[in-house]
Amino acid sequence: MQLSPLRTTLVAIFTTACLLFVAWMLLTPDGSLLSNANFEHDAISPNADNVYDVTRVTYSLSQPANVSIFFLDNDGQRYDFRSNKSRQSGEHNLLFSGIVDGFLMPNDSVEGTIIARVLADGDYQWVIEASNQQIRERKTGSLTINLADNTIPDIRGFSVSPSLFTPNRDGISDRIWISLFLTKEAHVDVFIIDDHGNKLPIAERAGNTPIDQQGMHTFEYEGGVDLGITPPPDGTYQVIANSLDSIGQKVSTEGQLEMKYGGVPRADIVNANVEFGDTTIVQGNQLMFTLTVENYGVSPIRTSGPEPGFQYTQNENANTHGWYEESGAWRVGIDCDTCIRDYPWRWALGKRHELTQIEDHWYLMPGQRTTITGAVTITDVPARNPLYFWAGLIHEDVEISNVNNRVDPHFITIVPKY
């Protein structure tokens, strides 16, 4: 006898329902949401000696549910291992090493924030709890903690210096130093958090204390500018240090820094062009020059030295007039074949009214151009004559880039006065 389409559909639905019921009964013979909850060992000793340091935790869910795993001590104090985590149906297993969410004990004296901590020695009731919109169930058992290494890897004396960070290689606050004292052997990570939540790691500076050992540690950060990398955008950033010991105890601390005027400094002599006043100079007369400098980067460029238009004599240099080299400052210089030092005659990248003052220093701002002039009175006739004179753009104690070194040499003759 041939079944009607309606009867066929009803039979298929009934068969499917029976199969699902049988599968559900096989998975949960007692009809519960949570079953087969168990801790493999009833005692552990979390101290990284590889002897009963961990125990396996297993449980089964008949339906998707939120699961919490926690511990209760004899006073009813709760310690969370997992809190309301969404889990799919089926069998689950994980390892427990005695580490729970951070908590404070009455005699604690810590400077950092305890993120994760080992349970103290003692007897506990473990609880595995599962819940969804219809059901909430829990299973319990007992666990003993013995010989736990409960010394906290605290971070003390945490500091960020300076608090205003200007990573632009101008010699002023170009680096930050993060200092901390680690009270216990542990791995330490230091990083800043950018606008997108990304971690930007900060490397530890070599010191007297070996990495990850108890003692004072210093971390140094220059924003990547030394490697030609654009630093993070200007703004206020969190600086975070985390310590993690061998059993999983974790401590965190944080500070702040303000980042400002950051960027890789970039400038050049426009069109690599230098105009000298003449190619023949009579002894006692001046060699004059004119050139233009442009800041084509995104960060201000600090400058120092005598203003454009300043006049030297041949046997003088910038130091003669008190304009000593300054790490991170930019200056225009003139050099020659017989000069006894590199670029003895130097000038600032503009007059004060052309520059911008930032705190106690003067800067050529991004996108700005200035014209530099100057003169050197030639007092001696060099043994090598004629000889080359040229210009350079000097980033003092940092570099003279190839594009800004020995720019536009001119072959100039010095004529004796008599």
Domain boundaries, the chain: 24-145, 155-259, 267-415
pLDDT in the model for residue 363: 98
* Block residue for tokens 């970039």: 266
Omega before 162 within 30 of 0, i.e. cis:
yes
- Dihedrals φ, ψ of 143, to 5°? -145, 135
* Residue 17: pLDDT band with limits 50, 70, 90: low
CA distance 336 to 410: 9
Contacts (Cβ under 8 Å, ≥6 apart) of 101: 79, 80, 81, 83, 115, 116, 117
CA distance 391 to 292: 11
How many beta carbons lie within 10 A of that of residue 207, not counting itself? 12
One-letter amino acid of 407: V
What are 367-394's pLDDT values in tens digits?
A: 999 999 999 999 999 989 999 999 999 9
* Options 3.40.50.1370, 2.40.50.180, 2.60.40.1930, 2.60.40.10; CATH of 267-415: 2.60.40.10
CATH match of 155-259 with 2.60.40.2550: yes
pLDDT in the model for residue 8: 58
* Measured CA distances, 3 to 7, 12, 13, 19, 36 (Å): 6, 12, 15, 22, 44
HSE-up of 207 (CA within 13 Å, CB side)? 19
What are 222-252's pLDDT values in tens digits?
A: 999 988 899 999 999 999 999 999 999 999 9
The first and second tokens of residue 120, run together, are: 């103290």
Regarding pTM above 0.85, the answer is no
CA distance 232 to 246: 33
Three-class secondary structure of residue 214 per DSSP: coil
What are 254-296's pLDDT values in tens digits?
A: 999 999 999 999 999 999 999 999 999 999 999 999 999 999 9
pLDDT in the model for residue 391: 98
- Dihedrals φ, ψ of 176, to 5°? -120, 150
Distance from the first to the final alpha carbon of the chain? 135
Contacts (Cβ under 8 Å, ≥6 apart) of 359: 172
Contacts (Cβ under 8 Å, ≥6 apart) of 29: none
The first and second tokens of residue 256, run together, are: 């702040």
CA distance 249 to 243: 8
pLDDT in the model for residue 23: 47
What are 106-133's pLDDT values in tens digits?
A: 999 999 999 999 999 999 999 999 999 9
CA distance 56 to 71: 15
What are 326-370's pLDDT values in tens digits?
A: 999 999 999 999 998 999 999 999 999 999 999 999 999 999 999
pLDDT in the model for residue 15: 59
**Domain spanning 24-145: which CATH class is it, in words?**
mainly beta
* Residue 4: pLDDT band with limits 50, 70, 90: low
Closest CA to 342 of 354, 357, 325: 325
Angle at 216 between CA 211 and CA 219, to 5 degrees: 65
pLDDT in the model for residue 207: 87
pLDDT in the model for residue 403: 94
Asked whether residue 12 carries a pLDDT value surpassing 60, the answer given is no
pLDDT in the model for residue 14: 61
pLDDT in the model for residue 197: 86
* Beta-sheet pairing, 78-87 with 65-72: antiparallel
Looking at residue 399, the DSSP 8-state letter turns out to be B
Are 394 and 346 within 8 A, CB to CB? yes
CA distance 140 to 138: 7
Omega before 366 within 30 of 0, i.e. cis:
no
Per-residue b or e along 40-69, where b marks 16 or more CB atoms closer than 10 Å to that residue's CB: eeeebbbbeeeeebbbebebbbbbebbbbb
What are 18-74's pLDDT values in tens digits?
A: 554 444 444 444 569 999 999 999 999 999 999 999 999 999 999 999 999 999 999
* Beta-sheet pairing, 369-377 with 311-313: parallel
Same fold, 24-145 and 155-259: yes
What percentage of the chain exceeds 70 in pLDDT?
A: 93
Closest CA to 316 of 374, 379, 373: 379
Strand partners, 136: 131
What are 76-112's pLDDT values in tens digits?
A: 999 999 999 999 999 999 999 999 999 999 999 999 9
Provide the strand spans (E) within 183-319: 187-193, 199-201, 203-205, 215-221, 235-244, 250-259, 267-269, 275-276, 280-282, 286-295, 301-303, 311-313
The first and second tokens of residue 133, run together, are: 């919109």
What are 161-175's pLDDT values in tens digits?
A: 998 999 999 999 999
Strand partners, 182: 155, 215
Are 73 and 124 within 8 A, CB to CB? yes
CA distance 183 to 157: 11
